[in-house]
Amino acid sequence: MGAGASEVVSISRLRLARMTREVISDLAMLERLVAPSGKDVVDVGCGGGALVRALSDCGARVTGMEISESQMADAIAHDDGRGARFVVGRAERMPLEDASVDIVVFMRSFHHVPASDLGAALAEARRVTRPGGAVYVAEPLAEGEFFELTRMVDDETEVRAQAQAALGRAADAGLDRETTVDYHAPLTIAGVPGLRTRVVAADPARAERFDALEAKLAEGLERLGEPGDRAGEWRFLHPMRADVLRPALSSPSYSDA
């Protein structure tokens, strides 16, 4: 938390005149809203495992889930004895027992679920969440300078809107939308290589288009970002929305979803 706080302080001057949302890291917001320490947590779409490691370090018992072993190879390789568990599965068909976790986390991953499966993914999250637990969804909004930059490679306007619409129908999956908070997540990009790593990691199919647009993306980094502390670094404020969904007390069983 100390490092996250210093990052917030250092970046809070960015575009201060038009700031309307709190600047806070994704992890700090998650900790504030659902307090994962000491709880069983599944990170859906864990990727390289950064969140798995952070949650383990704050005292959570973490399961990282990805759609293939190759997608989570780095997460497994860098667990460094933390004891996290890793499973292959999809959001709409989780390889987890009923009521087996306290918190299901979708960190910037919910909009990557196919639109036709978003409702099923929420129903699955409801199924594996214990009574009194939470489904935590943090989604990037289709706005801001970083979105303007990355939409050159892949315009996610529609899929992000579909994700928000699905969250609006969470009651259909037996979930109450308890809390919704908009915030700015501070983001530092280490030049074009760092941008490529971030953009392509979410979808390897983006690599070819990214490479074709490299010069334009380099110009966009300088035009849209603010210089970082180190040479070649660029800072952004990433508009985000965090939702806390709770199992509805009157909801039916979703074990067959």
For residue 164, name the pLDDT band (cuts at 50, 70, 90). Answer: very high
| Distance between CA atoms of residues 98 and 129, nearest Å | 7
Cα angle value 203/204/210 (rounded, 5°): 95
Structure confidence by residue, pLDDT tens digits, 139-153: 999 999 999 999 999
CA atoms within 13 A on the CB side of 104: 32
Structure confidence by residue, pLDDT tens digits, 106-162: 999 999 999 999 999 999 999 999 999 999 999 999 999 999 999 999 999 999 999
Token digits for 48? 């390289």
- Which three-class secondary structure state does DSSP give residue 228? coil
pLDDT at 233: 96
62: closest CA among 36, 81, 80?
A: 36
Q: How far is CA 87 from CA 45, 57, 101, 114, 204, in A?
A: 10, 20, 14, 20, 20
Kindly report the CATH class assigned to 2-247: alpha beta
pTM score, whole prediction: 0.88
Axis crossing angle, helix 191-202 with helix 214-224, rounded to the nearest 10: 110
Helices (H), 94-190: 118-128, 145-150, 157-168
Strands 129-140, 101-107: parallel, antiparallel or unpaired by DSSP? parallel
Map tokens 């991953």 to a residue.
Answer: 109
Structure confidence by residue, pLDDT tens digits, 188-224: 999 999 999 999 988 889 999 999 999 999 999 999 9
